[in-house]
Amino acid sequence: MKKINIMYWATAVALTLTMAGCVDLDQTPLSSLPAETYFNSDAQLQSYVNNLYAPRTGSDSNDQIFNVHGTYSYGTFAIDDNTDNMATKGSGSSQWVPANYKVGQSGGDWSFSYIYKVNYFFKFVLPKYEAGQITGSATNIRQYIGEAYFFRAYEYFKRLQRVGDYPIITEPLSDDLAILIENSKRSPRNEVARFILSDLDKAIELMNDNVASTRVSKKAALLFKSRVALFEGTWEKYFKGTAFVPGGQDWPGAEKDYNANYSVNIDTEVAYFLGEAMSAAKQVADNTPLTNNTGIVPQATGQSNPYLEMFGAVNMAQYPEIILWRQYDKGLGITHNVPIYTQAGCQQRGLTRGYVDNFPMKDGTPIYAAGSAYKGDDYLADVVKDRDLRLQIFLKLPGQLNYFQPGATPERAIPTEPYPDITEGNAERGYSTGYTIRKGINFSQEQYTDNGGCYTGSIVFRAVEAYLNYIEASYEKNGSLDADARNYWAKIRSRANNATVTFADIEANTINKTVVGLEVNDDWAAFSGRQLIDKTLYNIRRERRMELMAEGLRMADLRRWRALDQLVNNPYHIEGFKLWGPMKNWYDGLKPGDNVSSSDQSAYLLPYEASPNSDVYKQGGYLWKMAHYLSPIAAEHFLISSEDGSSPETSPIYQNPYWSTRANEPAFK
């Protein structure tokens, strides 16, 4: 098959898709696209599918498939913000302030605009494909149809994570209110997850891997399948019997006639999903090597660390570990600002103290274990000394070079890493927690010539996730680790520390020396529900946390593990570095009130509690409500689909657990 590189993912394509919604399940006919006479060649299929890659244009946040680097942001590396891993400067997310997180009036995650695009494609393409009426390369035709199945699955997984139970729509619906209301009925989440896996199985069957890594491939679909199956398997395991799983106590689906008699064996579902996760992950892990880690931060020409450099590479195709990525091009004006932010305070986003303390020593020993040789946290250089190399590589230290490779004049560069400026309010130059990462750095001067002019790639899928998914699914399903899981874990840890590490080493130095009760202040994932987990499972989660630093999966993991119950009644303080110790001398005349928290509050910087006017400060730290595990459905959707336009209880849509159907109300549990 000809390798087609979607350099900038179809931001300029021939098709114009103008859509409007009613109950958000229909869209106006694509009058500019005569479908009956279109979709007749592989080139026409490709043109339409290319548009499905297109990043968002305008204000519709639901009209974008992949969350990649935006023009002026820290890109994908900022997605883990507002978790126990990363914190920004300011007020933080309303999800941690229950009084502020409310049901919306309109919009939200109850959206079908992207799903409509894919279903429109299937309506006209599948009959022609089955009748053999599409001309061109059979391999290409199958590939493009497979990509469409992948995209529908990807979009449905977004809805599954955010909303849970969801209507399964497989065709573009006509503009008839009765039809639209009928199709608003929510399917139980396990059925939605099975539908997603079914679409992915079709994608896997149709696609191949002989495509550029900027296109979705068979391997990408397998990796994503393992993610979906692991998510649903662990969600159903840890929420079993609750309102968040079909058939559980107070499950709102039971209130509707169409779901009233629905029954399911959750244990069977959990085993099914975890088994599917293992099978799909193994096919990727066994066939994809990990990028080499030399264990250094390059500081001069001739030095290199492929593992570090791949996150900020211009051409990511050179790394087999990167299964899917988006390419940028300065000449075409397709750029972003990630490296410019990375050489400073990462758009005022930093790692938390809990996250940094969670990393063990280089030999795998937890920092609190006897004989760990941990040097303390009075200085940033002490924090990383003899620690896991991933922390050493990605945590920036004052005095390190941000770039050294020659190129264009670096007008917007900060050549040498300064002391973290935690008082600066400017997003480009300011720091948030004092613990600042360099994921996404590029050491070439060419990336620092003008604001928003960077053109490094943006990773969508990385193969190491398949290794991690298999390890976790194996243990969650069987209560033990099989030979493959042990082998994958050893490979991850060996790459992480640029040394041969066996599973026996991991078991002796990390698992056996872990005291989960001592990890709870650093890592929310020490809990599922309100129960501490065992040492092996905890370290599986720890490994995932370390390896996937700032790659956007943390909040999804915390939700599926049901790791946030502990914050319902016990506020949690997000901390940064140890400001009120020797490092305070970095800041002449610094005193409480200078846009930082006081020493009376904590020796550690509290990025969300620097002001007594902060909502987080007022409630004593981060708080959570059970309802927040799922997003509320906006009030308008109940009204539009109700019998009289004003009685939400007559709508076929039911609200998520513990949320009101009325706008501007917070969760009640």
Question: Over the stretch 170-226, which tens digit does the pLDDT of each residue have?
Answer: 999 888 888 889 999 999 999 999 999 999 999 999 999 999 999 999 999 999 999
User: Tokens 């891997």 label which residue?
Assistant: 209
Distance CA(80)–CA(147), nearest Å, equals 27
Work out the number of other CB atoms within 10 angstroms of the CB of residue 252.
Answer: 18
Distance CA(76)–CA(436), nearest Å, equals 15
Which amino acid belongs to residue 456?
T
What is the structure's pLDDT at 459?
A: 98
What would the pLDDT profile of 542-575 be if each residue is shown by its tens digit?
999 999 999 999 999 999 999 999 999 999 999 9
Distance CA(473)–CA(560), nearest Å, equals 13
Which amino acid belongs to residue 644?
D
pLDDT classification of 73: cutoffs 50, 70, 90 = confident
Q: Are 277 and 470 in contact (CB under 8 A)?
A: yes
Q: By C-alpha distance, which of 400, 428, 434 is closest to 305?
A: 400
Distances (CA, A) of 64 to 56, 180, 572: 5, 23, 33
Q: What is the DSSP code (8-state) at residue 260?
A: T
Residues with Cβ within 8 Å of 538's Cβ and at least 6 positions away in sequence, in order, are: 514, 516, 519, 523, 525, 526
- The β-bridge relationship of strands 349-351 and 531-532 is unpaired
Q: Are 553 and 77 in contact (CB under 8 A)?
A: no
What would the pLDDT profile of 100-122 be if each residue is shown by its tens digit?
999 999 999 999 989 999 999 99
Cα angle vertex 153, ends 285, 205, to 5°? 60
Helix (H) or strand (E) holding 88: strand 86-88
Helix (H) or strand (E) holding 461: strand 458-462
Q: Are 561 and 83 in contact (CB under 8 A)?
A: no
Look up the pTM and report it.
Answer: 0.95
Question: Which SS3 state, helix, strand or coil, does residue 357 take?
Answer: helix
**CB-based burial of residue 294 (10 Å sphere; 0-12 exposed, 13-18 middle, 19+ buried)?**
middle
Distance CA(444)–CA(221), nearest Å, equals 33
Pull the structure tokens for residue 64: 């974008």
What would the pLDDT profile of 309-340 be if each residue is shown by its tens digit?
999 999 999 999 999 999 999 999 999 999 99
What is the structure's pLDDT at 404?
A: 86
User: Tokens 């699914």 label which residue?
Assistant: 473
What is the structure's pLDDT at 36?
A: 72
Helix (H) or strand (E) holding 130: helix 113-130
Residue 19 has pLDDT above 60, yes or no: no
Question: Per-residue b/e over 61-91, b at no fewer than 16 CB within 10 Å?
Answer: ebbbbbbbbbebbbbbbbbbbbbbbbbbbeb
Residue 390 has pLDDT above 80, yes or no: yes
What is the structure's pLDDT at 7?
A: 43
Distance CA(56)–CA(62), nearest Å, equals 8
Higher pLDDT, 529 or 73: 529
What is the structure's pLDDT at 34?
A: 66
Pull the structure tokens for residue 198: 């079914």
Distance CA(49)–CA(29), nearest Å, equals 18
Distance CA(28)–CA(17), nearest Å, equals 10
Q: By C-alpha distance, which of 119, 95, 104, 24 is closest to 62?
A: 24
| Residue 6 zone, left/alpha/beta (φ > 0; ψ -120 to 50; rest) | beta
Question: Per-residue b/e over 148-182, b at no fewer than 16 CB within 10 Å?
Answer: bbbbbbbbbbbbbbbbbbbbebeebbeeeeeebbe
Helix (H) or strand (E) holding 462: strand 458-462
Of the candidate ranges 26-40, 184-198, 219-233, 439-453, the one whose mean pLDDT is the lowest: 26-40
Q: By C-alpha distance, which of 164, 145, 179 is closest to 45?
A: 145
- The β-bridge relationship of strands 458-462 and 322-326 is antiparallel
What is the structure's pLDDT at 91?
A: 77
Q: What is the DSSP code (8-state) at residue 570?
A: S
Residues with Cβ within 8 Å of 426's Cβ and at least 6 positions away in sequence, in order, are: none
**Dihedral (Cα; 21, 22, 25, 27), 10-degree rounding:** -40
Which regions of 534-660 does DSSP assign to beta strands (E)? Answer: none
What is the structure's pLDDT at 16?
A: 30
Distance CA(122)–CA(125), nearest Å, equals 5
Q: By C-alpha distance, which of 545, 474, 532, 461 is closest to 503?
A: 474
Distance CA(550)–CA(74), nearest Å, equals 10
**Dihedral (Cα; 565, 84, 348, 424), 10-degree rounding:** 90
Distance CA(434)–CA(604), nearest Å, equals 10
Q: By C-alpha distance, which of 264, 275, 266, 262 is closest to 229?
A: 275
**Average pLDDT of the segment spanning 157-166:** 98
Q: By C-alpha distance, which of 330, 337, 264 is closest to 76?
A: 337
What would the pLDDT profile of 613-654 be if each residue is shown by its tens digit?
999 999 999 999 999 999 999 999 999 999 999 999 999 999
Q: Are 606 and 353 in contact (CB under 8 A)?
A: no
Work out the number of other CB atoms within 10 angstroms of the CB of residue 208.
Answer: 14
Question: Which SS3 state, helix, strand or coil, does residue 394 take?
Answer: helix
